[in-house]
Structure 1
Amino acid sequence: MAKRRKGGRTKAKETNWQERVIQIRRVSKVVKGGKKLSFRAIVVVGNENGQVGVGVGKAGDVIGAVRKGVADGKKQLIDVALTKSNSITHLVNGTSGGAKVIVRPAAPGTGVIAGGAVRTVLELAGVKNILAKQLGSNNPLNNARAVVNALEALRTLAEVAQERGVPLEHLYT
């Protein structure tokens, strides 16, 4: 099962984080003097080793919005349990708003078969062999959050055995 990470990372470990911008959108707010323009950036942060987060930032300029999105993404990090073949343990569904995502493990050599924001999140999580399908909305933010929701729902065999209160060997028989 994916667990949220807490702070406390050192500067040396922060160098391996990768950031990818999914979307930059110009948004406006109506104020007394007219319209105030700002930018919204959706950013995915991951280390390609089982940790990924999705963040949103708004600012008056694009660089500031991306910086805020990266900071937000690092606060939202989850741990993803990967198999030896860099896939996931079992089929899982995730939802967020109107978006639904189906994520399915694949054989080694398959690659990442997914589109849009789903592909970006899975690649930065370190998944190499997976099949994914977006259903419903094609809003990039909701799809990215739906994938994170699905990855959070993953459970390993050891976790299932512990929940059931049986030894791990009994699950194989």
Structure 2
Amino acid sequence: MAAPLVPCSLFSAAAAANLRSISGSMMFKASLSRQAFVTDYLTDAGQIFDLKEELTQEDDVRKGWTVHIIDVRRVIKVTKRGGVMRVSALVVAGDGNGTASYGKARAEEMSDAVSKAFRKAKANPFYVERYFYPKPLFPGDNTIFFPAKAKVSASKVEMWPGSQFTGLRCNKTVMQIMDCFGISDINVKTRGSRNKTNMVKAVFKGLSSIRTPWEIAAARGLSYREVTYAERRAMNSPTQRNKRIRAMADERRAAERREVLTSLQSDPPTSQLPAAEVEGAAEAVPVLSRWHKSESE
């Protein structure tokens, strides 16, 4: 005799029928594959720290390079035979002394992808001039010379020099990049897309656009002090601007006086001129009156 159906059994039967009806749908298959990807990603995330520790112990510290794994993800390349799953790694490496670079590579295994990206980063180093504080409390404290902006795709980055003890005011990705460069104080604001690859490219693009004061001074024919951030801010203040305007006005009035004196010294006395030329001497009276008026001022 069959067992009677209870409410729990009826609920299980309905659930099984629903599962059979959706098991053939593409949405159900996609959800299963996404769940498997998340499981694999969480498993790989635990391996990142072991891989980073292994790289640090073997190669990076021995050669003075700091490595930060920015992003690791699984990618699928569709071919005629089907999808080929590989691992893509984005790595930032630097010596902490103004030199850093980034590399992106793919491989079948995570360790191979990270090692390949690290080799690419070391093959294309990038150097940034840093501003060191005159009297730092901690030796080596530095920042960038001037503000900078950069945009890559939909990712925008704005950075400003930071005063001493400012620290790294930025997100984790930018903080790892500044650690590779050895920059201790900076303010960075990221806007738009948070794609890590574009964000890394935008940061490097912004740092590459910063020129040193010596380069700017040589291009403009100015001194080093005239192109520094504090000096430019002081020169553009209202007080300094008014002083420059008054100096230009004084120089213009002095030039007019010199012209009048030169013209008077070059012309002969009116008593030695013919009668026709003496008549034009009356025109010089307004000029002399203007000169005396400017002298009184």
TM-score range, shorter chain: 0.7 to 0.9
Q: Distance in 2 between matches of 1:146 and 1:170?
A: 29
1:68: how far off? 1.1
1:18: how far off? 1.0
Higher relative strand content? 1
1:80 match: 128
1:64 match: 112
Q: Deviations over 1:140-170 (max 9, x none)?
A: 1110110000110111111101111334355
Q: Deviations over 1:49-86 (max 9, x none)?
A: 10111110111110110011111112332111111141
Pick aligned residue for 2:199 from 131, 143, 152: 143
Higher relative helix content? 2
1:39 aligned onto 2:95? no
Q: 1:103 to 1:170 in 2, by over 3 A?
A: closer
1:122 match: 178
2:166 match: 110
Q: Percentage identity across aligned positions?
A: 28
Structure 1 unaligned regions, length at least 5: 1-10
Asked if 2 retains the 8 angstrom alpha-carbon contact of 1:48 and 1:124, the reply is yes
Higher CA-based Rg:
2
Q: 1:64 to 1:156 in 2, by over 3 A?
A: same
Question: What is the total number of aligned residue pairs between the two structures?
Answer: 162
Q: Distance in 1 between matches of 2:159 and 2:147?
A: 6
| Runs of 4+ deviating beyond 2 Å | 165-173
1:33: how far off? 2.1
Letter of the structure 1 residue corresponding to residue 97 of structure 2? N
2:154 match: 98
Pick aligned residue for 1:165 from 211, 218, 221: 221
Letter of the structure 2 residue corresponding to residue 87 of structure 1? T
Structure 2 unaligned regions, length at least 5: 1-58, 134-141, 236-297
Q: Report the TM-score, using the length of structure 2 for normalisation.
A: 0.52
2:103 match: 55
RMSD: 1.9
Which sits farther off after the overlay, 54-63 or 74-83? Answer: 74-83
1:32: how far off? 2.0
What SS class does the counterpart of residue 197 from structure 2 fall into? helix
